[in-house]
Amino acid sequence: MSASPESLVVVVGSDGSADSERAIEWAAAAAAIHSGSTLHLLEALALPPTPTHSWSIAPAALVAEAESRASARLAARAAGIAGRGVQAVPHVRRFFPVEAIVELAQDLRADLIVLGRHG
């Protein structure tokens, strides 16, 4: 990848796995090459329907807990990336990952989508 004066809008999908962490690192490095770029970290929560009677915790509480953990993880990653001169914005959405990534990329008119190889 060669250096370019043009800034990029980069969307990177994350699920907290080691592969997605490597994807975030690669995306941050790519964004750093292009001054003024923005990295959008996305975690999509696609939780299957859960019968309320089968859980001691209500499904809404499970989803809220998952969103909270994802938000905290992505906010910490964004803060670390910002220290390297790249603006990073965390996003957590309730939707299937593929659809959430495509939707966010379209909304932002992303130049690049980065994903890990698993997950």
pLDDT digits (tens, 9 = 90+) for 95-106: 889 999 999 999
Give the pTM: 0.86
pLDDT tens figures, 44-85? 987 656 665 666 777 778 788 889 999 999 999 999 999 888
Query: What is each CA distance from 27 to 34, 46, 62, 106, in whole angstroms?
Result: 11, 23, 30, 18
pLDDT level of residue 1 (50, 70, 90 thresholds): very low
Do 116 and 62 touch, CB atoms closer than 8 A?
no
Strands (E), 1-119: 9-13, 38-44, 87-93, 112-114
pLDDT at residue 19 in the model: 94
pLDDT at residue 2 in the model: 45
